[in-house]
């Protein structure tokens, strides 16, 4: 670890070139990609890497996820959400007045004539997700965490399955996303632990799955440190411009650098607002819990699409994850989705004991146009923004981190960064 020097007057012994704020998948991969390119980097967070949002997902590197989650345009779907009729979406009434402007822009960006532009930019990043993860997984020694067999999207309603299969064919034609179709018999044979007979499934064959998402982030952070990168506990809220560069307070004293990256996930809005940026950011909360089983479990992650219930085999047990909850950052836990999901999951599989006393709660950092923010801050020299990856921060960390690293270091970016500039949100 690069030790931060305590300031004595205005002098410091060592100055890293870049300070990266945030120890999730996005921040760790930003720091790692910079270090791989020879930059001197210090990664700063209040906790150890991989303990926040990056820990709590379904553990899928989603090569198939070329289309971001759009706001529902169908009236029946909107009414179902409004009355909290499903498991996949929940909201806090008290949060709606503050979230209304962002949700209105989200709805506007999801219009049929605008959404394809978001898909085009989103799919470009997703296309590189596995290719950028793969060398980091091998080099970090994380191969034992990975399975390269994909995941299954199951259906109860045959008509919904048929529509999804048609859509899967379109995605394969337009984006190179591959799949296999499973009817009811094929799904029952592939997943003999299922207690209920479902209509069938789409098996997305390209994604990789991870038995412990937080551990993968830890492996990346350890690789970053082995390469000479610094890791220190500090307070991102203390970031300030000083002497033409940037300075932040840590437990080892102040650290200064010419460049700084805000990669704080759902907490990015707080820091950027301190710096004078009014960005329409919001969070989608999610819950998970692990369960033991009395018998066999799933062969790979499975989504009960009709109910919005995801079940993923993990090192610790079977992880049950929920969809999206719209609430303010820091609002009290309200795991009603998880309670509903557990009832459905127990009909599907022989679950027994919940392995955590209280469910895990995380926050996904979202933008209203569904695209991440990757690039320079327009009003501050040497400041860079890297957040807003919503449901796909775990998937996109290495690909997105590479793009930002190339921009910071003045290299030719491997993708056109224009769609991800923050100016579109101002």
Contacts of 116 (CB under 8 A, 6+ apart): none
- At 48-66, the pLDDT tens digits run 886 666 677 899 999 999 9
Residue 151 has pLDDT above 50, yes or no: yes
- Comparing 108-112, 150-154, 347-351, 413-417, the range with the smallest average pLDDT is 347-351
* Overall fold of domain 1-70+110-144+212-281+367-426: FAD/NAD(P)-binding domain (3.50.50)
Distance CA 409, CA 30 (A): 12
Q: What local confidence, expressed as pLDDT, does residue 379 receive?
A: 96
Residue 175 has pLDDT above 60, yes or no: yes
- Domain-by-domain residue ranges, the chain? 1-70+110-144+212-281+367-426
Average pLDDT over residues 338-344: 92
How much of the chain exceeds pLDDT 70, in percent? Answer: 95
Where does the pLDDT of residue 85 fall: very low under 50, low under 70, confident under 90, or very high at 90 and above?
Answer: confident
- At 343-396, the pLDDT tens digits run 999 999 998 889 988 899 999 999 999 999 999 999 999 999 999 999 999 999
* Host H or E run for residue 310: strand 309-313
Where does the pLDDT of residue 192 fall: very low under 50, low under 70, confident under 90, or very high at 90 and above?
Answer: very high
State the pairing for strand pair 324-326/282-293.
antiparallel
Average pLDDT over residues 166-181: 98
Contacts of 76 (CB under 8 A, 6+ apart): none
How much of the chain exceeds pLDDT 90, in percent? Answer: 83
Residue 243 has pLDDT above 80, yes or no: yes
DSSP label at residue 370: S
Residue 86 has pLDDT above 60, yes or no: yes
- Comparing 78-92, 141-155, 305-319, the range with the smallest average pLDDT is 78-92
Residue 193 has pLDDT above 80, yes or no: yes
How is 41-80 classified by DSSP, letter by letter? EEEEESS-TT-SGGGSS--EE-TT--S--PPP-SHHHHHH
Mean of per-residue pLDDT scores for the chain: 93
- The 3-state secondary structure of 131-167 reads HHHHHHHHHHCCHHHEECCCEEEEECCHHHHHHHHHH
- At 4-42, the pLDDT tens digits run 333 333 344 345 699 999 999 999 999 999 999 999 999
Residue 82 has pLDDT above 80, yes or no: yes
pTM: 0.94
Q: What local confidence, expressed as pLDDT, does residue 53 receive?
A: 66
Residue 2 has pLDDT above 70, yes or no: no
CA-derived radius of gyration, the chain? 21
């Amino acid at each position: 670890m690069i030790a931060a020097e305590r300031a004595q007057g205005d002098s410091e012994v060592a100055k890293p070139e870049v300070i990266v704020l945030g120890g999730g998948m996005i921040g760790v991969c930003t720091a790692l990609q910079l270090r791989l390119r020879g930059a001197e980097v210090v990664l700063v967070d209040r906790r150890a890497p991989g303990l926040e949002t990056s820990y709590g997902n379904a553990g899928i590197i989603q090569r198939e996820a070329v289309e971001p989650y759009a706001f529902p345009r169908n009236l029946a779907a909107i009414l179902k959400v409004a009355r909290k009729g499903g498991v996949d979406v929940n909201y806090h009434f008290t949060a709606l007045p503050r979230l209304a402007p962002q949700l209105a822009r989200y709805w506007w960006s999801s219009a049929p004539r605008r959404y394809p532009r978001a898909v085009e930019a989103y799919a470009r990043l997703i296309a590189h997700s596995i290719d950028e993860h793969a060398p980091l997984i091998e080099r970090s020694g994380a191969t034992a965490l990975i399975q390269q067999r994909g995941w299954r999207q199951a259906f109860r309603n045959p008509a919904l399955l048929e529509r999804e299969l048609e859509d899967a064919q379109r995605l394969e034609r337009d984006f190179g996303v591959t799949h296999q179709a499973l009817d009811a018999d094929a799904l029952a044979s592939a997943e003999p632990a299922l207690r209920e007979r479902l209509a069938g499934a789409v098996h997305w064959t390209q994604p990789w799955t991870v038995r412990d998402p937080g551990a993968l982030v830890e492996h990346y952070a350890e690789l970053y440190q082995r390469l000479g990168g610094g890791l220190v506990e500090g307070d991102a809220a203390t970031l300030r411009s000083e002497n033409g560069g940037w300075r932040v307070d840590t437990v080892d004293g102040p650290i200064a650098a010419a460049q700084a990256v805000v990669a704080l996930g759902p907490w990015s809005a707080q820091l950027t607002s301190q710096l004078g940026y009014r960005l329409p950011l919001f969070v989608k909360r999610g819950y998970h819990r692990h369960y033991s089983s009395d018998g066999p479990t799933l062969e790979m992650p499975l989504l009960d699409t009709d109910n919005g219930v995801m079940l993923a085999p993990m090192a610790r047990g079977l992880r049950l994850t929920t969809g999206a909850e719209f609430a303010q950052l820091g609002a009290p836990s309200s795991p009603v989705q998880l309670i509903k999901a557990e009832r459905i999951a127990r009909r599907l599989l022989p679950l027994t004991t919940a392995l955590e006393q209280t469910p895990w709660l995380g926050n996904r950092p979202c933008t209203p146009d569904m695209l991440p923010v990757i690039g320079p801050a327009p009003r501050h020299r040497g400041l860079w923004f890297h957040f807003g990856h919503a449901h796909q921060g775990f998937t996109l960390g290495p690909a997105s981190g590479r793009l930002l690293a190339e921009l910071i270091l003045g290299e030719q970016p491997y993708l056109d960064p224009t769609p991800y500039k923050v100016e579109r949100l101002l």
